[in-house]
Amino acid sequence: MNEQDLKRAFQDVVVASSPPPAMDPGRALDAARKARSRRRSSITGAVVAVLVVGIGLGSAFALNPQGTKEYITGAGPSSSSSSRPSSGMPDTQWGEEWPVGQSDRTATNGPQADRGTQLLELAKASVPAGYDTPDLKYKDPTMYGGMLRAQAQISTNKGETPEVWQYTAYVPVRKGDKVGQLTVEVSTPNPKAPTDPCALVTRYQGGSGGCKIMDVDGKQVGTAASVQPGRPAGTVAAYRAANGWTVMVTQEEEYAYSGYPKLDAQPFFTPALAAVAADPKFLLDS
């Protein structure tokens, strides 16, 4: 190795082992300031977002505490906050002429038909001791179907408000081999219906004899002898509730066209019949 080679080797060792150049203090300080500024902006944005959400939730809580609580906890609306009618009024979906699923005024399935069935069970349970309510068939060959039956029908037309539904239960009341009839008719609020109990009796029974108003625990019930043409003799009691629902109960010694012998007497005395009409169970969950 000559002098030139020795010099080059020494220079290579010095370059390879040299430390990195010193950092520029001004440049380093500027980079630090920029990084701190970015962090402050991120933190400030997050705080503002939290404050905005907090203010919004606070306002919402003041207007709807339960709903805000459900939002924060992630819970869906509770059944108590869901929208549902509290008056028991029907919410019917209509077709071109009749409610959906119907070919005429009578409901044969769905919630309105279910109300008719409910009324039938309530009417059966109201018959006094000593009588039963069998599911009898007509003996008269000109009649068909069962004597124990229910019906639900709409009396208003499409587009008319309020919508008025009528529910009727026909119950054969038997004692021994003799059969009479108990009929319970219930209507949703009808603005055209009279408010006077005796006027109700007259309107829906086609005439009555000697209507008398009876007080049943503060409720006014119209009672009268039923004198409908072509019908067996009976007694009717009519009641209009404060919410507008009406209840009419009719008892007859004979079940018309049934072919069975009639009862020796009507099942209820008139005050007891009035109490049946005023029973709140017949308002069908209104």
pLDDT digits (tens, 9 = 90+) for 150-187: 999 999 999 999 999 999 999 999 999 999 999 999 99
Higher pLDDT, 245 or 209: 245
Task: For residues 171 and 249, give the distance between their C-alpha atoms in angstroms, rounded to a whole number.
Answer: 11
Q: pLDDT exceeding 90 applies to what percent of the chain?
A: 58
Question: If you search the block for the tokens 């009719």, which residue do you land on?
Answer: 250
Mean of pLDDT values over 12-20:
42
Indicate the angle between helix axes 65-73 and 25-63, nearest 10 degrees.
Answer: 140
C-alpha torsion 69→72→74→77, nearest 10:
30
Specify the pLDDT at position 114.
96
Upper half-sphere CA count for residue 187 (Cβ side, 13 Å): 22
Query: Could you read off the pLDDT of 59-94 as tens digits, one per residue?
Result: 444 444 444 444 444 444 433 333 333 456 677 899
DSSP character at residue 158: T
DSSP character at residue 177: T
Q: Out of 83-97, 117-131, 219-233, give the one with best mean pLDDT.
A: 117-131
Strands (E), 49-161: 149-154
Task: For residues 284 and 246, give the distance between their C-alpha atoms in angstroms, rounded to a whole number.
Answer: 11
What is the band of 53 on the pLDDT scale with cuts at 50, 70, 90?
very low
Contact 172, 255 (CB under 8 A): yes
Give the tokens for residue 21. Answer: 């150049």
Strands (E), 155-233: 165-175, 178-187, 208-216, 219-226
Higher pLDDT, 79 or 224: 224
The angle subtended at Cα 236 by Cα 235 and Cα 241, nearest 5°, is 155
Give the tokens for residue 179. Answer: 């059969």
From 36-40, 80-84, 170-174, 270-274, the region with the lowest mean pLDDT: 80-84
Specify the pLDDT at position 7.
47
Specify the pLDDT at position 66.
47
Task: For residues 202 and 19, give the distance between their C-alpha atoms in angstroms, rounded to a whole number.
Answer: 116
User: Integer distance in angstroms from the first to the last C-alpha of the chain?
Assistant: 116
Specify the pLDDT at position 30.
52
Query: Residue 76 CB: number of other CB atoms within 10 A?
Result: 9
What is the band of 220 on the pLDDT scale with cuts at 50, 70, 90?
very high
Mean of pLDDT values over 198-215:
80
The pTM of the full predicted model, rounded to 2 decimals, is 0.69
Residue 155 burial by Cβ neighbours in a 10 Å radius (0-12, 13-18, 19+): middle
What is the band of 251 on the pLDDT scale with cuts at 50, 70, 90?
very high
